[in-house]
């Protein structure tokens, strides 16, 4: 885990204080403003949500392409990419860091996934560790690595306006079906101090035992996600899969000498970090939802948080690994 600030930052902050202090005040004002707007938009989205008619998938297999933890021969990375296959088709969720790191291309090739058989790509949100790298985040333009290329025209489902080179871009404004038996919650918002507003969608599928809920980072909070899921389906939740964003004791990655996930990717002021109280609230929400299985991403949650989930959530809890294959239609 990385949770240190490079010592060169302190003199830099002192020298830059005449500029940085007004900037911090502006960002704090923007966060306050955006929190109100995001809260109103999320309430409107919840109020407008109507139940989805989800097909029951007889089989649903997850192959993890990119994750922090990795099986032998695969590359671990603080990013996410998942491949789902069922009798309804194949869907790829997220591109990790794309061509910025070797993990996505190498792991995809090792996994045996035939990209020509993909029916759709879904991007949970336009952050660099999901949309394919820093350029994708900066331009809001998804660009697939060469291993996918542009020779596989298929829909790319986005939770907000953006581009998708070589794909049939589909921007989702609310809950609805996607492809291969999957549906989306539509965008759910979160205001962040440094990064501004982010829209993130959550994927939904249905197996015989109930719903499968798949998150990218879980920025909107698991509480809001579960509230939207309940509006969209009365089915019990069989599995919750993916990131919940709890870098309580440290970050998996750093940027420019800073613990990136704890500093840049929260909806809090810089002096207020995600803590054990926030984690306890999430654990309580998960236990109230009563999933059979909880398959956690380690790319955005520290080991301390993962251990607490394993110890305190009343479900079968597992940490995902790149190169791993998971039967999501199996009984919990």
- 70-112 pLDDT tens trace: 999 999 999 999 999 999 999 999 999 999 999 999 999 999 9
Separation of alpha carbons 91 and 212, rounded Å: 14
Q: What is the pLDDT of residues 7-35, one digit of tens each?
A: 554 465 555 566 656 767 777 888 889 99
pTM for this predicted structure:
0.91
Tens of pLDDT along 127-153?
999 999 999 999 999 988 888 865 557
pLDDT at 22: 75
| The pLDDT value given to residue 29 | 81
d(CA 157, CA 141): 12
Closest by Cα among 128, 131, 127 to 93: 131
164 contact partners, CB below 8 Å, separation of at least 6: 121, 123, 141, 142, 156, 158
What is the predicted pLDDT for the residue at 272? 75
**What residue spans define the domains of the chain?**
9-327
Q: What is the pLDDT of residue 129?
A: 95
With a cut of 50, list the residues of the chain below it in pLDDT. Answer: 9-10
pLDDT value at position 95? 97
Question: Which class in CATH covers the domain with range 9-327?
Answer: alpha beta
pLDDT for residue 127: 94
DSSP secondary structure of 78-117: SS-EEEEEETTEEEEE--TTGGGSSHHHHHHHHHT--GGG
């Amino acid at each position: 885990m990385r949770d240190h600030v490079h010592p060169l930052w302190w003199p830099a902050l002192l020298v830059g204080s005449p500029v940085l202090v007004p900037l911090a005040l502006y960002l704090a004002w923007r966060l306050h403003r955006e929190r109100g707007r995001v809260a109103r938009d999320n309430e409107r989205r919840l109020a407008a949500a109507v139940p989805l008619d989800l097909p029951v998938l007889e089989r649903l297999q997850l192959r993890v392409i990119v994750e922090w933890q990795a099986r032998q021969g695969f590359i671990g990375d603080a990013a996410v990419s998942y491949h789902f296959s069922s009798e309804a088709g194949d869907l790829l969720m997220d591109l990790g860091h794309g061509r910025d790191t070797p993990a996505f291309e190498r792991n995809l090739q090792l996994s045996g996934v035939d990209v020509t058989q993909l029916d759709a790509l879904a991007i949970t949100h336009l952050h660099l560790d999901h949309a394919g790298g820093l350029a994708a985040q900066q331009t809001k333009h998804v660009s697939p690595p060469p291993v996918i290329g542009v020779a596989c025209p298929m829909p790319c489902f986005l939770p907000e306006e953006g581009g998708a080179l070589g794909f049939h871009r589909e921007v989702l404004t609310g809950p609805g079906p996607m492809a291969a038996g999957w549906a989306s919650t539509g965008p759910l918002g979160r205001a962040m101090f440094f990064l501004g507003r982010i829209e993130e969608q959550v994927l939904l599928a249905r197996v015989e035992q109930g719903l499968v809920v798949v998150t990218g980072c879980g920025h909107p909070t698991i509480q809001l996600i579960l509230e939207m899921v309940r509006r969209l389906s009365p089915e019990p939740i069989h599995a919750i899969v993916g990131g919940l964003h709890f870098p309580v004791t440290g970050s998996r990655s750093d940027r420019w000498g800073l613990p990136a996930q704890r500093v840049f990717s929260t909806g809090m002021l810089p002096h207020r970090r995600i803590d054990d109280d926030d984690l306890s609230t999430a654990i309580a929400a998960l236990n109230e939802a009563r999933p059979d299985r909880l398959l956690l991403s380690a790319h955005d949650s520290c080991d301390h948080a993962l251990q607490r989930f394993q110890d305190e959530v009343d479900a079968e809890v597992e940490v995902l690994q790149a190169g791993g294959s998971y039967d999501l239609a199996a009984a919990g």
